Amino acid sequence: MLDVKRIESLRHAAVAPVLHVIDGTSRPSRDGATSEVISPLDGRAMAVMAWGTAADAEDAIAAARRAFEDGRWSGLPPAERKRIMLRWAALIEAQALDLAVLGVRNNGTEIGMALKAEPLSAAATIRYYAEAVDKIFGEIAPTGDDVLGLVHRAPVGVVGAIVPWNFPLMIGAWKLGPALAAGNTVVLKPAETASLTLVRIAELALEAGMPAGVLNVVLGEGKVVGEAMSLSPEIDVLVFTGSGGVGRRLLENAAKSNLKRVYLELGGKSPNIVFADAPSLDEAVKVSAMGIFRNSGQVCVAGSRLLVERSIHDEFVARLVRATEAMKVGDPLDPATAAGAVNSLAQLEQNLRFVAEARAMGRAIATGGGRVLEATGGYYMAPTIVTGVNPADSLAQAEVFGPVLAVMPFDTEDEAVAIANGTDYGLAAAVWTTSLSRAHRMVRRLRAGIVHVNTYGGSDLTVPLGGVKQSGNGHDKSLHAFDKYLDLKSAWIRL
């Protein structure tokens, strides 16, 4: 049960100036530059934060390099790193509601979702990797009696992490948990429009006993701070969640600098496929609505393309429209809200352009389609369902990253697969069917990093998340995430 009184007491709480965390201290930018933090709830400034330069990024990278090379973190016994990380997770959990409200004010996610998906999820992720770190072993190779072959797993060094604004704590923890547990040091760049909670948990890491320089946070623009990170020869691995255009730039900069490994999660245009033999149309409707409209569609795995078998198309869409129009859109700090604010005015305007283009092409707007609650000053959009979409339309090909659903009918399984696989993306997918054979065929045939069957979303840390095609490479979550942050080092010993 959410503590409504506590939420209200934090709604307009003053936020102290937000600073970089570099080498164990909170500090302003070298040039003193700052930027206002605009809340999407009302369009007003809620805080001021340091606005970093390339020099600030270089300071953080140098601190991370020193901290790695002197072994203050990598040299600790794994059990000691675990102890500190478990204390860190406990501190995050103890402040979960305060962190959730701060995050909602910063990026607009509805509080009911934010509490679970952000601080509580981050704490669980950090705890998961902390518990795993002293259970990862090297290997002994099968050799002759005169040789001992060993395979060590060694931390890669300095990790640069650039994370998005939709779920900064959850996605940030997906990077920080395994990177830090493995013994690396980290330079983290939050998104410009969702930085506050990541700074706060970095401060909590220091409080938990994490040595100075192990986790550094640099605020500012991607084209400045992120650019400096991607070009730095002192960063060994770069991990990023965000847009394809930025991902390409990071790869180019890695090639220009030290050929650092770059792991990318670049979003998707995920198909949610409903066959006529779905076990429950009502359940499919409810889950499909949440699969696209939660967090105002600002979810990388959002089911933004709905493919419905033609024989049930009209009935399913009618039910979905009713369910969508029953969703409460508005104040994200109201526990009854089902869809909160769009993160920024720029994102809202982009969403609306996609809808305007679809309307101009003659596609039908079954519900929604416009900005709502404009008098609040905030950035709100009605959940929008567009029908009659052609698979070649930009609405069916491009990632909107907003509460806009493209609906398309299909007649056969083969057609559904062709439409589903007919984009540049391959992050997630879903299939609704009672046929076990069809479910297995679809899992095999759909080109996606994760395929849901008779559900959408909800997978936990035990399974990896990663994409194929232009949805990226590498995996977050699960023990496979360690693969990005550990090098294999062989020892060949003559006995």
Which residue bears the tokens 């023990």?
479
Q: Beta strands of 277-393 (E only): which ranges?
A: 305-309, 364-367, 371-372, 380-381, 384-387
Count of all residues that appear for the chain in the document? 495
Residue from 265, 309, 399, 413 carrying the catalytic annotation:
265
Residue 337 and residue 329: Cα distance in Å, rounded?
6
Residue 383's SS3 state is: coil
Residue from 118, 234, 300, 399 carrying the catalytic annotation:
300
CB 188 within 8 A of CB 173: no
Residue 307 and residue 149: Cα distance in Å, rounded?
53
Strands 34-38 and 45-50: antiparallel
The residues pairing with 451 across neighbouring beta strands, listed in sequence order, are 429
Of 388, 348, 401, 387, nearest in space to 370 by CA: 348
CB 461 within 8 A of CB 477: yes
Active site residue 265: yes
Copy the structure tokens of residue 243: 């847009």
β-sheet with 450-453: strand ranges across: 364-367, 384-387, 404-410, 305-309, 271-274, 428-432, 450-453
Residue 20 and residue 161: Cα distance in Å, rounded?
15
The catalytic site residues sit at: 265, 300
